[in-house]
Amino acid sequence: MLQMKLAFYQSVQRLRDQYVQLWTSSCKNSSKLTTYFGFKTQYVTESYGNYLIVRKYRNVYARLLSSAHCLAIERGRYTNIVKESRFCPCCKSIIENELHFLLVCPLYKDIRKQCIETKYYTNPCLNKLNAPNAMW
């Protein structure tokens, strides 16, 4: 009986490992999930649910990570605009992606000052947001 349980658990672990490999490969090969995979490096439950207590903020964060938003980087995918031409409507010559939206665009400067610590949008980069002690 013990041997059957061990075989079962080994089979389950093997299936999980295969799925994680498939998930990792799919994320790395998807142009849509570039931002998501910049934040999500392991197949584990995300901790932002513990920090973002207000539901609408959790939803916005999840939508931003999964590219379920209306930024030019995503809209252009459906209107056949090449990635290099998906410009911010405010800045005109900079690609409107998640990093630009969160940390760079002057249109959101006032909101950014209220919601995000200065260290994140001074010399902005995704690595700062992915750190263990990041703003999330």
Q: Is the pLDDT of residue 134 over 70?
A: no
Average confidence score pLDDT of the chain: 82
pLDDT band at 136 (very low <50, low <70, confident <90, very high): very low
CA distances from 127 to 52, 99, 103, 109, 134 (A): 20, 11, 12, 20, 9
**pLDDT tens-digit map of 54-80:** 888 888 888 887 788 899 999 998 899
Computed on alpha carbons and rounded to an integer, the radius of gyration of the chain in Å comes to: 19
Q: Which residues contact 52 (CB under 8 A, 6 or more apart)?
A: 58, 61, 136
Which residue pairs, CB below 8 angstroms and at least 24 apart, start in 123-129? Answer: 124/99, 125/99, 126/35, 126/38, 126/39, 126/99, 129/39, 129/102
CA distances from 18 to 24, 25, 28, 43, 83 (A): 10, 11, 16, 12, 32
> Assign residue 73 a region: left if phi > 0, alpha if psi is -120 to 50, beta otherwise?
alpha
pLDDT band at 90 (very low <50, low <70, confident <90, very high): very high
Of all residues in the chain, the percent with pLDDT exceeding 70 is: 90
**pLDDT tens-digit map of 95-111:** 998 888 888 899 988 88
The one-character DSSP state at 32 is T
Q: Is the pLDDT of residue 115 over 70?
A: yes
